[in-house]
Structure 1
Amino acid sequence: MSARSRRIRFWGTLVCVVLALGGASAGVYRLRQVESAVTLPVAPARQGDFLVIIRCRGELKAGRSVQIYAPIVPSLSIAWMAPPGEKVDQGQAIIRFDSSSAQQQLQQKEAQLQQAQATLDQALAQAKITAEQDKSDLADAQYTVEKARLEASKQEVVSRITGEESKIDLGVAEQKLKVQEATVDLHAASDRSKIASAARLRDQAAADVALTKSRIAQMEIKAPLPGYLTYAPNYSQGWMNAKPFKAGDNVFSGMGLAEMPDLDTLMMDAKVEEIDRGRIAANDDVRVRVDSLPELTMPARIGQISLLAETGNEFPPVRSFRAYAPIPHPDSRLRPGMNGGMDIIINRIPNAISIPAKALFTRAGKPIVYLANAGHYRPMEVQVLARNPDEVAIRGIGAGSMVAMVDPEKKDQKK
């Protein structure tokens, strides 16, 4: 092979190598540009009313709840209970007690009532018989007196002896009449006493029957309002072994058994940090959220704020106030005790430009954002108008601008 051919071949090979290296470099550059555009998340700047909020955590509570107590009945034993957490209607049975012993007592009391009533009826009948007999005897005595008085009035037309005898008979007849009148009064008083005593026994027996029936009626507790039940712990076995009441437990009269919250009075009970207390007031608009229902946002207003700060159990101790926001028309899925929070709206900025809080960075002590354009990111200084936990209201960029959610410079340093 000649020297000229070798030179041509050498230069041809060199040109091919250079072209291959240039193509590879261009491909790597293009790949990096595409990778940069893909790996950096961006978000658009939004224009609209910006709500300045104070975010606080809390839980749902019922503004009104009804306590369920054991009836004033001795020797109570729970026979059946409605399942806890199950929805019940007003007037529906929720707790039943064992009424077998009370039913036996009712039978005994009713038998005593029947006996007392029979005794009273007998006393009334005997008093009526005695009164009729006394009335007849009294009439006879009065007739005898009138007859003796008539005979005594004949003293002028009969002999002296006969006249004296008539006077004596009149006196005797009058004495018998007085005795008979006293006997009638005695019998009437005695009969009234017997009847009163029998009536008292009858009334006492009737009261015992009514009391027993009332106790039996109290053996079934009905729901005072629609909702669900939360059973109280049973401390009869000690505080360490306390468990909610269940069927078969013995309870005392008047013992608290359960609680029924009124679901129409649900409110968010949230803690407000001490530094934020001066920025909120009653009737401020709030947005209530519940952790278990993230799709649900409920508008409400602050109804009340605690007057004194409370110290929590955290360490170091944190002092906070409590704010209560009643929820109008609460969702049927809400229950007391659900964790959540509320955003208290303290100001509104109309037509503000807002971006996610993660898209705001600091460089040289000034707030900046990175505007994204075809995979390139240009820093832009902005003015912060207000901050929220999730969003920031700024001035300095237009609506719809795409801002990076990650600092590109730190991303490049990591690479």
Structure 2
Amino acid sequence: MNSSCNQPVALPSNRRGASPFSIMATLLVLGGIGAASYYVWAARSNDEGKTNAILHEVQRDDFTLSVTERGEIESAGVVEVKSEVKTNNTPGLAILRIVPEGTHVEEGDFLIELDSSALEEERTTRQITANTNLAVVVEAKNLYETAVIAKREYIEGTFVQEKQTIESEMFVAEENLNRAKEYFEYSKKLAAKGYVNDLQLEADKFAVEKSQKELEAANTKLRVLENFTKEKMVKQLESDIIIAKTKWESDQKSHELERGKLEDVEDQIRKCTILAPHQGVVTYAHSRDHRGNNEFVVEEGAVIRERQTIIKLPDASSMRVELTINESLIQYVKPGMPAKIFPVGLGDQVFKGQVEKVNRYAEPSGWRKANVKEYKAYVTIEEPDAKLRSGMTTSVTINCLEEPDAIQAPVQSVYAHGEDFFCFVREAGRWNAKKVEVGPTNDKFFVIRGGLNENDAVAMNPKRMVSEVNLPPLPQQKAADGQQPIAEGLQLPEKVAEHSEATQSSAGG
């Protein structure tokens, strides 16, 4: 049995190779597998290669909108020390002495001494002028007082004396008249008896008339004195008083003006020595031009103009960050928003902060950035550390908006068509243009309020798919404007920006 088992089995001549049936079956199987593989490859190639699409699967995730900018740390309670010395049409005053930068000073400590030599020369000139004006004032005062006395002298003295003299003359004239009349009467009696001739009688009559004239002249003189001379002299003397008083007051004003100028110069000389108004660490207020080069360096010999800041005294207990934000992001930043501060040179140390203020107007820019608008913002550091210094560079991340579990789509996948937005979704081997309602964006993703579902596959390059989708026709005036994906120039439409701003306001509140 064993021998028979070890013997080779004799086969018919037609079984020496594979049968035609088995070969055909094998070929059919292999052909089917190849055809299936080709079909899958061809279908996939037709689905992807023909559309040339880059797909992204829409997912839900926590959406965060943050703005990160670089800024410079400064003291929120910084005290600026300025020159209060008037330059009077001169370039300014030179610094003679200045306390070294970095010195800790207390209130009242010496800071700066400015050159006051020109002011001291002016003080001497002003002093001479003031003394001269004072002498003029004294003279004018004496003239005024003399005029007052002259009026009293006339009314109470000269006038009374002249009146008394005239009245005395009137008394003598009346007495002479009475005597002349009596003598004339007596002469007439004697003439009747023949003792007095006509010539003598005529002389006695003339004496009466003369005495009468003298009395009338005295009365007229008294009347002129009382009614005219007195009034004229009083008015003249009163005019002299007014003129003397006016001149005295004018000279007083001139003297006060010169005295004020002298005191102002003395005050300016005192202000040439500047003391610390507050405790702090001395920081020189160098100024730089728009290129960042030093335009002015605080040092001994430097010329300081009026109201120019020379030294800053920062308060280390109150620190903040000054930063500039591009106009495309400023709409998201509001006062009260939380921020994280990463100072350069302190490793991974992070400080908490809060947006204090955002300027309403853009900062001035040079010709290099004529089309770039930036706005100043200030972020308060909540718990400043002693390691923080004014002028230190830092990075600030402002948390503008958070929206948990939000459907998000890349900004590249959102296509603007007129005033609407679409995403091109791949469904069952075809492209469908779905109108979407977009929310805020962080430059990477849009929050999708409606129009997309989770796990939808959207095209990342929708511009190439426009010919494969059906988009609603645009009005004639809109069609000329053309359409483009949002990612090619991220500018939010007004309704999206308003919605984003409202969301941020509610988050900040």
TM-score class, shorter-chain normalisation, is: 0.5 to 0.7
Q: Report whether the alignment pairs 1:251 with 2:304.
A: yes
Q: Report whether the alignment pairs 1:142 with 2:160.
A: yes
Q: Report whether the alignment pairs 1:165 with 2:213.
A: no
Q: Secondary structure at the match of 2:105?
A: coil
Deviation, 1:277, is 10
Q: Secondary structure at the match of 2:274?
A: strand
Mapped to 1, the partners of 2:316 and 2:224 lie a distance apart of 90
Mapped to 2, the partners of 1:254 and 1:309 lie a distance apart of 25
> Residues 187, 279 of structure 1: CA spacing in aligned structure 2 closer, same or farther, 3 A cutoff?
closer
8 A contact 1:99–1:219 mirrored in 2: yes
For 1:73, which of 79, 84, 87 is the aligned residue? 87
Mapped to 2, the partners of 1:104 and 1:320 lie a distance apart of 49
Mapped to 2, the partners of 1:278 and 1:258 lie a distance apart of 35
8 A contact 1:291–1:340 mirrored in 2: yes
Cross-structure match for 2:381: 327
1:336-368 residue CA offsets vs partner (Å, 9 max, x unmatched): 321334577899xxxxxxxxxxxxxxxxxxxxx
Mapped to 1, the partners of 2:287 and 2:347 lie a distance apart of 31
8 A contact 1:135–1:184 mirrored in 2: no
Task: Give the number of the structure with larger relative contact order, counting CA–CA contacts within 8 Å between residues 6 or more apart.
Answer: 1
Deviation, 1:209, is 0.8
Deviation, 1:66, is 4.9
8 A contact 2:119–2:269 mirrored in 1: yes
Cross-structure match for 2:141: 124
Deviation, 1:185, is 2.1
Mapped to 1, the partners of 2:295 and 2:316 lie a distance apart of 27
Deviation, 1:330, is 1.8
Q: Percent identity?
A: 16
> Residues 104, 60 of structure 1: CA spacing in aligned structure 2 closer, same or farther, 3 A cutoff?
same
Mapped to 2, the partners of 1:158 and 1:217 lie a distance apart of 84
Deviates more, 1:220-229 or 1:269-278: 269-278
Q: Secondary structure at the match of 2:104?
A: coil
Mapped to 2, the partners of 1:270 and 1:115 lie a distance apart of 59
For 1:200, which of 244, 253, 267 is the aligned residue? 253
1:319-339 residue CA offsets vs partner (Å, 9 max, x unmatched): 999985411242233223213
Taking only aligned residues, the RMSD between alpha carbons, in angstroms, comes to: 4.9
Mapped to 1, the partners of 2:303 and 2:95 lie a distance apart of 6
Aligned residue identity for 2:393: N
Q: Report whether the alignment pairs 1:112 with 2:129.
A: yes
Cross-structure match for 2:112: 95
Mapped to 1, the partners of 2:374 and 2:224 lie a distance apart of 104
Runs of at least 5 residues in structure 1 that lack an aligned partner in the other structure: 1-51, 311-317, 348-415
Question: Which structure has the bigger radius of gyration?
Answer: 2
TM-score normalized with structure 2 length: 0.45
> Residues 234, 69 of structure 1: CA spacing in aligned structure 2 closer, same or farther, 3 A cutoff?
farther
> Residues 117, 151 of structure 1: CA spacing in aligned structure 2 closer, same or farther, 3 A cutoff?
same
Deviation, 1:97, is 0.9
Deviates more, 1:137-146 or 1:264-273: 264-273
Cross-structure match for 2:70: 58
8 A contact 1:72–1:253 mirrored in 2: yes
8 A contact 2:71–2:396 mirrored in 1: no
Q: How many residues align?
A: 294
Runs of at least 5 residues in structure 2 that lack an aligned partner in the other structure: 1-63, 178-211, 364-371, 403-509
Deviates more, 1:320-329 or 1:72-81: 320-329
Deviates more, 1:279-288 or 1:291-300: 279-288
Q: Secondary structure at the match of 2:386?
A: coil
> Residues 83, 343 of structure 1: CA spacing in aligned structure 2 closer, same or farther, 3 A cutoff?
same
> Residues 166, 319 of structure 1: CA spacing in aligned structure 2 closer, same or farther, 3 A cutoff?
closer
Deviates more, 1:275-284 or 1:221-230: 275-284
Aligned residue identity for 1:166: A
Which runs of structure 2 are paired with 1:147-296 in the superposition (5 Å)? Answer: 148=166, 152=170, 159=177, 160-174=212-226, 175-227=228-280, 228-233=282-287, 242-268=295-321, 286-294=339-347
Aligned residue identity for 2:137: L
Structure 1 or 2: more strand by fraction? 1
Which runs of structure 2 are paired with 1:383-394 in the superposition (5 Å)? Answer: none
> Residues 169, 344 of structure 1: CA spacing in aligned structure 2 closer, same or farther, 3 A cutoff?
closer
Deviation, 1:189, is 2.9
TM-score normalized with structure 1 length: 0.54
8 A contact 1:245–1:257 mirrored in 2: yes
